A = this chain, B = another copy of it.
Amino acid sequence: MASKVSPLAPARFPDLPIIGGVRFASAAAGVRYKGRTDVMLAVIEEATVAGTFTRSATRSAPVRDGQSKLAHSEGGRAAFLVNSGNSNAFTGRLGEEAVHGICTAAAAALDLPPSRIFTSSTGVIGEPLPWQRIADAVPALRDALAPDGIEAAARAIMTTDTFPKGASAELDLPGGTVRIAGIAKGSGMIAPDMATMLVYVFTDARIGREELQALTSAACDRSFNRITVDSDTSTSDTLLVAATGASGVDASGQPDFARALESVFLDLALQVVRDGEGATKLVQVRVTGAASEPDAHRTAMAIANSPLVKTAIAGEDANWGRIVMAVGKSGAQADRDRLSIRFGDIVVALDGFRAPDYSEEAASAYMKRQELEIGVDLGLGDGAATVWTCDLTHGYIDINADYRS
């Protein structure tokens, strides 16, 4: 857990705006870690809640509980209660009992129906969650709630993360200014599929539940569903968005709001990649000219998940042959003689062959950058997709060859 901060980390945690109607607290409940906070509580007044979750067939008890509650979400006050250190996944009947125990305790302490308590758990899989420690922490958390506690909350939900992740947007709509602030955790087991890691986003905009859900799902598809660290999909991925309406500003039907929400999602998603386990490079993979958008996405993910591409990037090796390999294995339609590949602005391959003016020296110099762009044009159609990944380094092996121990 005492990893050095990722070299790709932002200089500091951003200044996030206060979101009217939302208060935060965090505490050290001793779930698994010693000497650090591991539980965060957010209480939201008049919350319209939307969300997305992992589609893993072995998803955790809190994910299943959250999915069911979201489907029947009714408005009014709500709480998000999140612990790190233990994911409460694959814990059988004890998993449901733990969620029930936490929600019952929180409902009593916060004077809320249990159906308005959304819990998440992240950490080791398969260990019974010592939920009583979390339940016991709720009264103190309640007493500590404050509008400016979001950075501490972001720290409390970290696991192998090396820095807390936050992002925000402020925008002027016809009715006035609205604010969006979000936090996330995630570093390994990152290949969200129709879902994400743990992400909590708050806004003081006024917006209906169905519209907020639609905006959330669409923005998630273009942000969290476009990142990968290691192709492994978590059992606990959860994204929750709460709108309080405290600004009094109606965001319904406002494209600027949709764009701002997506920008916050994307900012957080890229911070997750920047904190990819062992990462030293942030890599954008842009595929164009695919026969379809799904083909573009499939090709981009095949590149972004390829261990051989990712180790070449770690070694600062302009090994574009491995990109050819990944394109070939992706299952997407491809034609060698129409394929072109670039690193940044350097065209390395064109029409099925090394580019005529290819310079190994220039490509190698480019690979020394900390942020890289790989561009692939399949030359077949209009399908395009962008995904983000990181390199695969000794640091990843160090972290994961004994994370649990």
Q: Which residue of B lies closest to A330 (CB)?
A: B57
Residues of chain A at interface, number, CB under 8 A: 70
Q: Mark A327-350, 1 if CB is under 8 A from B, else 0.
A: 111101111110100000000010
A380 to chain B, nearest CB (A): 11
Which residues from B are CB-within-8-Å of A352?
90, 92-93
Please measure, in the bound complex, the distance between the C-alpha atom of A58 and the C-alpha atom of B354, giving whole angstroms. 14
Using A90-B349, A90-B353, A400-B315 as known contacts, say yes or no to A235 and B324 having CB atoms under 8 A apart.
yes
Q: Is the CB of A126 within 8 A of B354?
A: yes
Q: Which of B235, B308, B329 contacts A328 (CB 8 A)?
A: B235
Contact of A334 among B58, B188, B189 (CB under 8 A): B58
Chain B residues lying within 8 Å of A396, measured Cβ to Cβ, are 307, 311
Q: CB distance B92 to A188 under 8 Å?
A: no
Given the interface contacts A90-B352, A325-B232, A333-B57, does A308 sit within 8 Å of B405 by beta carbon?
A: no
Does A233 make an interface contact (CB < 8 A)? yes
CA A111 to CA B396, docked complex, whole Å: 54
Interface string of A91-124 (1 = CB under 8 A from B): 1111000000000000000000000000000001
Specify the chain B residue showing the minimal Cβ separation from A378. Answer: B57
A37, CB-defined interface residue at 8 Å = no
A397 and B401: CB pair below 8 A?
no
Asked if A223 is an interface residue, CB under 8 A from chain B, the answer is no
| A193 beta carbon closer than 8 Å to chain B | yes
**At the interface, yes or no: A6 with Cβ under 8 Å from chain B?**
no
Q: Which 3 A-B pairs have the closest CB atoms?
A: A125-B321, A315-B401, A92-B353
